[in-house]
Amino acid sequence: MTTPFTFLADAFDVSSARELGERARAAEDLGVSTFVLPDHLVGQPAPVPYLAAVAALTSRIRISAFVHNNDLRHPAVLAQELATLDVLSEGRLDVAVGAGWNEAEYTAIGLSFDPARVRQARLAESVTVLKGCFGADPFSFAGEHYTITDYDAQPKPVQWPHPPFFIGGGGRATLELAAREAQTVGFAPRILRGGVPDPLSFTWAATEEKIGWVREAAGERFDELTLNVYPSFWPVTVTDDLEGEAERVAAAMKERSGLELSVREVIDSPHIFIGSHDHFVEKFTGLRDRLGISSFLVGDLDLLGPVVEQLAGS
């Protein structure tokens, strides 16, 4: 059975709740499933009030971060905020969390940027705490990073036993956690220390390998998972000069990292969104048919709206 396409959209540049509502309702009417906002400390609004506004100004579209940086909030605090969003939206929230990757933000506010294994371990504990907070009864938890004692979190979310979880990342530990605990697994390219992208993690082959990790960790629940990818490193570009744009991407990657991808590898990358509208339809269909990826973050709908309109729900 073919999994229907789902699309996530955002709007970074809105200047008022009225404009945000107009953009979100347009996305809702186009067939977008979820309106999202990344969780960063620079160059964008804060996700929780943004999503609250979207919930208040729409009636069907789901809301989610993409994704909450676990290190910026205690999970019990985040649980209260998210449960409130689920109540206010009448059950339209997805809980999206990741281990955090943008070292520059940590440095800017004096927050320790721990090794990946520590951030991944903290995320795993956080998921346990979030689900405990969403549960019906008081709970306790004693981990290496968080301690919860007979805590009955309020409010409780509308969705039961909890809102769907979206866990995204590029490392094996995070993806295996997502395979066990999430309903949607978000695949991200690896970001090396200092914010440099790892070009090899952008390839089709790298994504195939990551899906293999998820399949092994998920076991029998693998077929129930939704798999997501998003554009990274290069902005979404609608162009008829596919190979020329791919050459520009490859050159920029080589300049940033010293490693080189072929034009074909750039074009096939699940994380590089370039080409004509017809090419995007072909690319998304191929990713679903060959890799099982059916969920895509398309960003601002000014560029990929026609693609969403053609594919959403099909």
In tens, the pLDDT along 76-108 reads 999 999 999 999 999 999 999 999 999 999 999
Strand partners, 69: 98
Q: How far apart are CA 153 and CA 196, in angstroms?
A: 39
Q: CATH code at 200?
A: 3.20.20.30
Handedness of CA 248, 253, 256, 260 (dihedral sign): negative
* The model scores a pTM over 0.75: yes
Domain membership of residue 34 (yes or no) is yes
Q: Token pair for residue 174?
A: 């995070």
Note the pLDDT tens digit of each residue in 203-233. 999 999 999 999 999 999 999 999 999 999 9
Q: Is the pLDDT of residue 31 over 90?
A: yes
Note the pLDDT tens digit of each residue in 111-122. 999 999 999 999
Domain membership of residue 1 (yes or no) is no
pLDDT of residue 235: 95
Domain membership of residue 260 (yes or no) is yes
DSSP 245: H
Domain membership of residue 83 (yes or no) is yes
Would you call 188 helix, strand, or coil by DSSP?
A: coil
Domain membership of residue 237 (yes or no) is yes
Residue 190 confidence class, pLDDT cut points 50, 70, 90 = confident
Q: Is the pLDDT of residue 234 over 80?
A: yes
Domain membership of residue 219 (yes or no) is yes
Q: Establish whether the linkage from the previous residue to 75 is cis, with ω within 30° of 0.
A: no
Q: Is the pLDDT of residue 74 over 70?
A: yes
Rg (CA), the chain: 19
- What DSSP letter does each residue of 264-279 carry, written as one string? HHHHH-TT--EE-HHH
Burial 174-188 (b: 16+ CB within 10 A, else e): bbbbbbebbbbbbbb
Structural domain that includes position 127: 6-311
Domain membership of residue 208 (yes or no) is yes
Q: How many domains does the chain have?
A: 1
